[in-house]
Amino acid sequence: MVSSVSGAPPTPSTAPARQVTAEACRNCILDDLKGALQLLDISDETRQRVLSEGERFLSGEFELSRAPSYYITAVHRQLKRMTGMAVPFAELRRAGNEVGLLLSEKLRRQLTSLPQKEGFRLAVEWAIAANHLDFRTVGTGYGFAPDEIEEILKAKLAKGFAIDEFDMLWDIVHTVRKVLYIPDNVGELAFDSIVLDYLRDFGCHTVVPYRGGPITSDATREDFDFLNTQAHAGEVICAGPDTLGISLEEASDELRAALQRAELIVTKGQANFYTMYSAQDSLRGRIVCLFTCKCDVVANLFGLSGKINIMKVLK
C-alpha cells in the first residue's frame, strides 16, 4: 500500500534534474504529436509545418509546474487550426466507441452472475484497463478486431494493480451521494457507463462532464450521445472547451460548481489525475483516481516506475 500524496506535484530539487525532466516531457509531447500526425490523411508538407510549429512552441517557456496536458492541448489546437480539421481522428474515435461498446456489453453479461461487490470491482478494473484504449498510445490505431483489442485489455488486467485501494473506494461509495465522475477517452467511456450504473444502484447521483470539443481521444458530447451515456449518468454537463483532460483554468461554470459540490470526485486517466493531484487541497470532497500510468514522471510520485495500473484514493 502506498501512502497518500498531497499538494502540488513535486519538482526536482536540483537544476540538472529539472532540465532532464523538462526535456523528457517535451520529447514525450512531441512524440505524441508525431504519432497523431501519422494518423491523419494530410500532406507531408502540412505534417511538417504542424510539427515545426509544435517544436517552436515547446522550445519556449516550459514550466514544470504546469501539467503536461496544458502543452498537449496547445499543440493539438495548433494541429486543428493548421490542418483545418474540426474533428481530427473522427474515424478512429468512432471505431474506438464501437469497440468499447461491443466489449462492454460482453462484460455486462458476465457481471450479472457476480455478487455486487465482486461485480463492482471487476467493472472498475475493466474501466481502468480500458484507459489503455487511447489510439495515441495503444499502437493499433484500432486496426485490430474487437477480440484482439479484448486480449490487449486482458493482458493489462493480468498485470494487476501497483496501487489497489478498492476496499477504500467500496467504503466511500456507500457513504456519499453526490459524485462527480470525470471520464477520459472514447471507447473506455462505454466501460465507465457500467461503473455509473453501479454508483446509481448505491444511491449516488452522478454528474459526468464531457469535453466541449475534440482533442485527441477525449470524450465529447457526440461520444456521450453515441454511447448513450446520459442514460447511465444522473446528469451530464460540459467541462469547458477542447482540453486534454479537464482544465481548471478553462473550466465551465457548471464544472466549477460540480467540483465544489461533490462529496466524491472520481477521475479517469493520467491528465485528470494531474489536475486532481494539484487541486486536491482546494476541494472538499474525497478524490479517487483510476488510470493506467503512462510514464515514470507520474509513477515516481508513488515511488514506482513503469506503465502501471492505479486505483488510488487521493484524499
DSSP of 258-291, one letter per residue? Answer: HHHH-SEEEEESHHHHHHHHHHGGG--SEEEEEE
Backbone angles phi, psi at 182, to 5 degrees: -100, 105
Structural domains present in the chain: 15-83 (no CATH), 90-313 (3.40.50.10880)
Residue 201 host element (H or E): helix 189-201
Q: Which residues have CB under 8 Å from 151's CB, separation 6+?
A: none
pTM comes to 0.90
Query: What band does 240 get if pLDDT is binned at 50, 70 and 90?
Result: very high
68-120 residue pLDDT tens? 899 999 999 999 999 999 999 998 899 889 999 999 999 999 999 999 999 99
CB 99 within 8 A of CB 133: yes
The bridge status of strand 309-313 relative to strand 286-292 is antiparallel
* Sheet of 235-238, strand order: 163-164, 309-313, 286-292, 264-268, 178-182, 205-210, 235-238
pLDDT category at 22 given cuts 50, 70, 90 is confident
> What's the confidence (pLDDT) of residue 143?
52
> Which amino acid makes up residue 24?
A
Residues in the chain: 315
Return the residue matching grid coordinates 494539484: 278
> Distance (Å, rounded) from C-alpha 236 to C-alpha 263?
17
Looking at this protein, which amino acid is placed at residue 290?
Answer: L
Q: What is the pLDDT of residue 140?
A: 46
Other Cβ atoms less than 10 A from the Cβ of 186: the count is 31
What single letter denotes the amino acid at residue 69? S
Q: How confident is the model at residue 295 (pLDDT cuts 50, 70, 90)?
A: confident
> What pLDDT score was predicted for residue 58?
93
Residue 3: partners with Cβ closer than 8 Å, 6 or more residues away: none
* pLDDT score recorded for residue 142: 43
Q: How confident is the model over 170-218, as pLDDT tens digits? A: 999 999 999 999 999 999 999 999 999 999 999 999 999 999 999 999 9
Grade residue 284 by pLDDT with cuts at 50, 70 and 90.
very high
211 in helix, strand or coil?
strand
Residue 149 has pLDDT above 90, yes or no: no
Q: Is 259 left (phi over 0), alpha (psi -120 to 50) or beta?
A: alpha
Pairing mode of beta strands 205-210, 309-313: unpaired
Q: Which three cell numbers stand for residue 93?
A: 474515435
CA distance 241 to 252: 8
**For the chain, how are helix, strand and coil distributed in percent, rounded to 5?**
55, 10, 35
DSSP letters spanning 96-156: HHHHHHHHHHHHHHHHTTS-HHHHHHHHHHHHHHGGG--TTTSSSTT-S-HHHHHHHHHHH
pLDDT for the residue 38: 87
Amino acid 67: pLDDT: 86
